[in-house]
């Protein structure tokens, strides 16, 4: 998360900046070196130079992987602003991948859950959002597209339950998701106070706050299926937590300076525009 958060617009990560922020967050140089070595071995970055003068270069796959997360974040802010109301349509995906392709099957199952799906029964998942492009991309990538069936319905029943709000309560762990947003709120509030207070903050301090916020927002949002507000208990803690994060990012955007900004700055700046 730290390395990804520091990717600049040109796809590079400066080692000096990386070590400085990592140290501020309580990480050792050895931890950073091991992380960088693993990322390079996995093909996510290339490495040029030595020590704190080195630079990491994000590969095309790494840069591309950031795009879906940006899409989901924008969608969440649109929901919070009442700009993405639910149309009453449930989106379903079913697959029957043989045991001989267990790895692809397991990866597809994990992807469906990551995209906000909930299991209805073996091999059948439901989502409240239009997830088809993401599901198909994953199925193609995993070599399982031929085993995938997609459909939509406005008449979903599980046993005797057909009320959408009650179905939502039964299918997704709403309390667990809400608890993550309560944590995000607790962590964001003191950082917002620092960012909007009179004290000056160094560039490394601003980057550190940005990384902390991004990590906690990711922790809260990755397991969040981004259910439409019409299906959630109100007030929903995710709305308040994201509003606080947006205010933090507005303050960060006003304070930061320099030319080579992390992509993270642009991503959050874009979501602020979408919320207006």
First to last CA, the chain: 28
Contacting residues for 8 by C-beta, under 8 A, at least 6 apart? 14, 260, 261, 262, 263
pLDDT for the residue numbered 111: 94
pLDDT along the chain (276 residues), means of 10: 79 88 88 91 90 88 67 90 95 91 91 96 96 95 93 96 97 97 97 94 85 87 95 96 90 68 60 48
Structure-block tokens of residue 273: 């525009």
Q: Per DSSP, what are the bridge partners of residue 45?
A: 58
Strand partners, 58: 45
Amino acid 67: pLDDT: 56
HSE, side-chain direction, 13 A CA sphere, residue 132: 9
User: pTM of the entire structure?
Assistant: 0.82
β-bridge mates for residue 93, sequence order:
125, 150
Query: Mutual orientation of helices 263-275 and 203-221 as an angle, nearest 10°?
Result: 60
Alpha helices in the chain (DSSP H): 2-5, 15-24, 29-41, 60-80, 102-114, 132-141, 164-171, 174-196, 203-221, 237-255, 263-275
Residue 271 has what pLDDT?
60
pLDDT of residue 146: 92
**C-alpha torsion 222→224→227→232, nearest 10:** -160
Residue 25 makes CB contacts below 8 A (sequence gap 6+) with: 2, 208, 211, 212
CB-based contacts of 112: which residues, under 8 Å, 6+ apart?
93, 125, 127, 135
Judge whether 80 and 243 are in contact, CB under 8 Å.
Answer: yes
* CA-angle at 238, arms to 234 and 241, nearest 5°: 120
Q: Output the pLDDT for position 123.
A: 92
> CA 65, CA 13: separation in Å to the nearest integer?
16
C-alpha span between 123 and 99 (Å, rounded):
13
What pLDDT sits at residue 264?
Answer: 62
């Amino acid at each position: 998360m730290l390395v990804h958060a520091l990717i600049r617009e040109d796809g590079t990560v400066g080692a000096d900046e990386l070590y400085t922020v990592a140290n501020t967050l309580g990480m050792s140089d050895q931890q950073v070196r091991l992380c960088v070595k693993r990322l390079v071995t996995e093909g996510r970055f290339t490495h040029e130079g030595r020590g704190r003068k080195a630079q990491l270069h994000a590969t095309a796959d790494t840069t591309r992987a950031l795009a879906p997360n940006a899409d989901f974040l924008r969608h969440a802010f649109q929901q919070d602003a009442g700009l993405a109301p639910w149309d009453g349509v449930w989106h379903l995906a079913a697959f029957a991948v043989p045991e001989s392709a267990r790895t692809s099957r397991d990866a597809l199952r994990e992807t469906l859950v990551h995209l906000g799906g909930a299991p209805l029964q073996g091999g059948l998942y439901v989502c409240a959002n239009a997830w088809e492009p993401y599901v198909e991309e994953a199925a193609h990538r995993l070599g399982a597209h031929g085993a995938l069936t997609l459909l939509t319905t406005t008449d979903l029943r599980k046993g005797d339950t057909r009320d959408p709000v009650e179905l939502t309560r039964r299918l997704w762990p709403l309390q667990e998701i809400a608890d993550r947003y309560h944590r995000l709120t607790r962590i964001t509030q003191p950082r917002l106070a620092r960012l909007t207070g009179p004290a000056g903050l160094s560039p490394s301090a601003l980057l550190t706050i940005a990384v902390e916020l991004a990590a906690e927002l990711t922790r809260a949002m990755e397991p969040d299926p981004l259910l439409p507000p019409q299906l959630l208990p109100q007030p929903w803690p995710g709305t308040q937590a994201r509003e606080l994060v947006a205010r933090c990012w507005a303050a960060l955007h006003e304070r930061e300076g320099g030319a080579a900004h992390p992509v993270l700055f642009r991503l959050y700046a874009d979501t602020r525009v979408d919320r207006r």
